Amino acid sequence: MTLSAQPGKGVIGVAEAMAAATAEIDAVLQTLLPEPSGPERRLAEAMRYAVLAPGKRFRPVLALSTAELFSVPRRAALRVAVAVEFAHTYSLVHDDLPCMDDDDMRRGQPSLHKQYDEATAVLAGDALLPLAFEVMAHPETHADAEVRLELVRALAEAAGPRGMVGGQMIDLVVEHKPADIGTITRMQQLKTGALISFACEAGAVLGKAPASARQALKAYARDLGLAFQIVDDLLDVEGTEAATGKKVGKDATLGKATFVALLGPERARTQATMLADQAVAHLDAFGERGAFLRRLARFVVQRSH
């Protein structure tokens, strides 16, 4: 069943729809991850440990649900969704390293470098990113070579110095330093926003959607991504390790520049709700087809993990 066909109004049913999509996504993740074999089997084991842990699958769900807007074949959408999850997991594994955010828990289990070791964590991350490109460049992803290249280019940009990696660099640079809202916004737009934006745009690319639809989804992704991040920061302050699957209270300990540190929890929550409203407003042109993406935006600001 497609995400948009899931019954329920408002945020009701979003969790159920995401759970159903997650099962589909996880099945494809399984098949596209390398099987452990040979003297390097530890690498494939580590990749599987990190990727197959119970993640939210928020980014792949975005890719699937934007692809539904343009009636993209499920098989193609799932491949891109999985590529996005590979890229996302790689970034989590590297961000958790002792030299970065030094996180011991991730997705409810010891982070990769705790379970294995630092070298294996660096390498597993290093192996997941090219795998994402390999999946997207493969003919099964789309018959049209230009479409596949467009995906490769967009992911390369989202994953590179003007995307995720640039954002993580800002995060490290501003640690223990006063940062203004502009810097934090730029950091988050690169660190988490770029890949969320790619996930939303990917559906439009696969569907060869007109530029206006693509722009609308990018605008939706920009606002949704910031709302998602603000809630992440709130959960670090207000959430529990049991619910989030990772240690909480880390941002304050590390002196991290976050929206919550700057605005306080209350204004931060108001800001997240406003951003979700803005995100929803960008979907007008999609009419009833955009219903799931609207509900997803509401769900994001109400989530507890």
Query: Which of these ranges, 19-27, 53-61, 172-180, 215-223, lies near a copy of itself under the rule CB under 8 A?
Result: 172-180
Q: Does 92 bind a copy of itself (CB under 8 A)?
A: no
Nearer Cβ to a copy of itself, position 40 or 241?
40
How many residues in the shown chain lie near a copy of itself by CB under 8 A? 55
- Residue 176 class from Cβ within 10 Å (0-12 exposed, 13-18 middle, 19+ buried)? exposed
Nearer Cβ to a copy of itself, position 28 or 231?
28
Tokens of 300: 């994001």
Q: Does 104 bind a copy of itself (CB under 8 A)?
A: no
Q: Does 133 bind a copy of itself (CB under 8 A)?
A: yes
Helix H segments across the chain?
Answer: 14-32, 41-51, 58-69, 74-95, 112-115, 118-137, 145-159, 164-174, 181-188, 194-206, 211-238, 241-244, 250-254, 259-263, 265-281, 291-302
**Which residue type does 211 have?**
A
When binding is defined by CB under 8 A, the residue of 54, 162, 243, 249 that contacts a copy of itself is 162
Of 90, 78, 74, 63, which is closest to residue 29 (Cα–Cα)? 78
Tokens of 189: 């737009």
| Footprint on residues 266-295 left by a copy of itself (CB under 8 A) | none
Contact footprint for a copy of itself (CB under 8 A): 34, 38-40, 42-44, 47, 94, 97, 99-100, 117-120, 122-123, 125-127, 129-131, 133-134, 137-138, 145-146, 148-149, 152-153, 155-157, 159-163, 165-170, 172-174, 183, 186-187, 190
